[in-house]
Homo-oligomer: A and B are copies of this chain.
Amino acid sequence: MHLIMEKKETVAIIGGGLSGSLLACCLAKRGFKVSLYERRGDFRETGYLGGRSINLALSERGINALKKVNLADSVLDDAIAMNGRVMHSVAGELSYQPYGKAGQYINSVSRSGLNLKLIELADEFENVTLYFNYKCIDADLKNNTAIFETAEGEKVSVKADIMLGTDGAFSAIRSEMQHTERFNFSQQYENYGYKELEIVPGPDNKFMLEEHALHIWPRGEFMMIALPNPGGNFTCTLFMPYTGVNGLDKLKTEDDVKVFFNKYFADALPLMPGYIHDFFNNPTGSLLTVRCSPWVRGRFALVGDAAHAVVPFYGQGMNCSFEDVAVLDELIDKHYPDWDKVLSEYQDARIDNANAIADLALKNFVEMRDLVGHKDFLEFKHIEHDLCDLYPDKFKSQYELTTFTNMPYRYAWNQGFKNEQLIKAIISEGLKEKLEDRELMNKMFEKYL
């Protein structure tokens, strides 16, 4: 049982997914009276339903936020480190590209396991009350009130001093905000769907592909990826356009799917005994980007996917959401009890960065499904990697800034373009054998970075 410092404002958190449950812990630690309302049943009893992908890549920003509630170590204990990408060519040849320097890796974690840990921790605070089967159906933004429908069909009105919408990409709270004055909003779907499939473990739960890597089968217009799970299996995700030459609409029969997988994923196929069943029985996921502004109306604020759903290709959706929580927590520390200041600085600090990671994630889709399959690109990445290694204080890659630091996403976005100009110049000026010439490189850095 954690210590409650004093009786402060009441906070209602709408949505008990990853952001909501972490937020509940952070605010409870600060002594607020927290009520958390979750649409689904209690996953501790019913098992975990819904949510998007099965596993997620936890990195620095997420870890940094989990440290605030002392949960980072326990989560990382159950994670699998992924040091880089292994690309599988059509012919089954492998190539490798490390994510960063030695010791820099991302962590494959289970969405359900992590959510469970966070809910369990929240429940340990006596100043947190959890409400399951509470579906938010309406909100009165001017009166700090949200309306829920319970499993029994009862309507319950909830009022708190601070109302935080962590209700995900299809947020009911954001829907209400959308009808307020001058609310900017966009929801944009990619013309791609995805199917989750599985690579099974070998005998004794042996990993049948390199364990400490994210695997990619880049095929230009489409791709499959695989992330390792502690059970020895890999969660595979196949991303394809809905329609067209390589469209999901072309895979109508079992034969269509067999021919397609044999042609493009021959090396993985023997490891995927259930792929046909999974292909036809798993739902087709969609890829959504949500942007909005403002994130705050009165005493309501959006946090996590409710404010900024991003496509999964940078592995930053959860990390960005957790960073929202960390920033909000730090601003409470700084400005409490001035909630106007807390909330307005929160959105000022986050909106542009959320737009930046949304753009980075869209850009990375092209990189993953297409570019990583090209020699030129791997050469580019090789130079980038060497520069990171040789000049750790002066040169950081966009991936490093995004994944292994807490620098603003917008900075990573901008710096990435500068890096690109630098590396293009190194190649075009024939300097790629001279990366160790510090004097020369320092001049290049001055010119381009």
Contact = CB atoms under 8 A, between A and B. Distances in A.
Interface of A: 178, 181-189, 286
- Please tell me how many copies of the chain the complex holds: 2
Nearest to A191: B182
Nearest to A170: B179
Contact of A183 (B178, B183, B187): B187
Contacts of A181: 286
Contacts of A184: 187-189
A350 to B, nearest CB: 19
Given A181-B286, A182-B286, A184-B189, 7 more contacts: A178-B187, A182-B189, A183-B187, A183-B189, A185-B186, A185-B187, A186-B187
A288 to B, nearest CB: 8
Nearest to A289: B184
> Considering residues A181, A182, A184, which has the most beta carbons from chain B within 10 angstroms of its beta carbon?
A182
B183 A186 contact: no
A359 to B, nearest CB: 15
Contacts of A189: 182-184
Nearest to A185: B187
A178 B174 CA distance: 13
A364 to B, nearest CB: 20
A184 B291 CA distance: 12
A348 to B, nearest CB: 14
A216 B123 CA distance: 63
A382 B184 CA distance: 38
Nearest to A193: B182
A-B pairs with lowest CB-CB distance, top 10: A186-B186, A182-B189, A184-B188, A185-B187, A184-B189, A182-B286, A184-B187, A185-B186, A183-B187, A186-B188
B185 A185 contact: yes
A1 B183 CA distance: 46
Contacts of A182: 189, 286
